[in-house]
Amino acid sequence: MKKQPVKPEFTFKMFEVLSRMWLVGCVKTAAELNIADQLAYGPKTISALAAETHSNEKELYRIMRALSSEGIFEELDNRTFALNDFGAALQTSVPGTVKDFIIANVGEHFPGFADLIYAVQKGKVPFEHVHGMNIWEYYKKHPELGANFGRGMTGLSGMVLNGIVENYDFIPYKTIVDIGGGNGAMMYAMLNASPESSGIIFDEAHVTEKTLQLIPENLKDRCTVATGSFFEKVPSGADLYTMKWIIHDWNDDECVQILKVCYNAMPQGAKLLIVDAVIPDDSKNEPHISKLFDIVMMACLTGRERTLNEFKDLLERSRLKFSRVVQIGTEVKSIVECEKP
């Protein structure tokens, strides 16, 4: 079959796909300038916004016009802009914010997306090719960016924490260990939903030393931290272990190593919850956000998003028994429940 001319409507559709990149550049600019914070207490003229953000008024207006045309912020009369629900997702330090994750994704992560061909042809991680080190080494070398990325992941947690505690019963468990628990947002949600449970937030030392200072006053008698590497050892003897956005960071062999460490720490009958996206096994040609989130993994890490069958394979290799998948109301994440038989 010989090549056919492209139909104009599909040329335009591909052009629209490309335009998402231009829009993302505008979103990152608004995030870096804290525009949503500036508008949180009421509308402001472009002159006021430019003065408060030390920006060029004409160029800032062009950015704000483009964002408002996509429903991010709202342009009123006389070049005045207002915050709306969509733009509010760019506020600083509020539940559900995506501001910090956007800054990371369109900052240090972005060159990896531009170099995806390196992953496709070499089977290696573009981020490492571009930066000369893996993402975890990079964040240790650039702690201010690492802190921003940590805040970004906490903001994304706002999408799923309510769904997790509303769809899974944590009350029966005496001791919960959150592996790779970061600043503790997941643990605090679980403990608030299970008043008799105690929790241990497990992570590396440079994380837990900060986390220890963040434990809410009402949870300090039920929550503590533990330090180490989940490739080597995790706290033993708990009846529930959780991992949110951990397994998808690593390749299959690395995941099996992590899961075997968990298996060794778990008493018989203890459960492990893997909170990750689950790509439907029978979803050919159907959209699913995890299929795109998988490209983030390809660009930046050795990991991937997985189908349920792929999760089951990891569990089998680790001697853990698959129990069920618990849906939490979003494609972004599900709970894969397993136990030590």
Same domain, 196 and 316: yes
Catalytic residue among 109, 131, 206, 248: 248
User: Does 332 score more than 90 pLDDT?
Assistant: no
Domain total in the chain: 3
Does residue 184 sit in the same domain as residue 278? Answer: yes
Tokens for 241? 């272990």
pLDDT for res 19: 94
Distance between CA atoms of residues 245 and 33, nearest Å = 29
Q: Do residues 235 and 326 both lie within one domain?
A: yes
How far is residue 296's CA from residue 64's CA, in Å, rounded to a whole number?
27
pLDDT at residue 331, rounded to an integer: 87
pLDDT reported for residue 282: 87
d(C-alpha 29, C-alpha 167), whole Å? 37
Spatial separation of the C-alpha atoms in residues 170 and 187, rounded to whole Å: 11
pLDDT for 99 equals 97
Domain boundaries, position 115: 104-154
**What residue has token string 């829009």?**
23
Q: Kindly give the pairing relationship between strand 271-276 and strand 334-339.
A: antiparallel
Q: What is the mean pLDDT of residues 109-131?
A: 97
User: Does the annotation count 288 as an active-site position?
Assistant: no
pLDDT of 4: 87
180 shares a domain with 69: no
**What average pLDDT does the structure give for the chain?**
95
- Residues 320, 264: contact at Cβ < 8 Å? no
* 85 burial via Cβ count (<10 Å: 0-12, 13-18, 19+): exposed
Q: For position 158, what pLDDT does the model report?
A: 77
Query: What gap in Å lies between CA 232 and CA 116, rounded to an integer?
Result: 31
pLDDT band at 86 (very low <50, low <70, confident <90, very high): very high
Confidence of residue 159 (pLDDT cuts 50, 70, 90): confident
Domain co-membership, 49 together with 118: no
Does residue 154 carry a pLDDT above 90? no
Residue 163 lies in a domain: yes
Average of per-residue pLDDT across 74-99:
95
Q: How confident is the model at residue 111 (pLDDT cuts 50, 70, 90)?
A: very high
Position 97 in a domain: no
In a shared domain, residues 146 and 285? no
Q: What is the pTM of this model?
A: 0.89
Least confident residue range of 11-20, 102-111, 156-165: 156-165
CATH at 17: 1.10.10.10
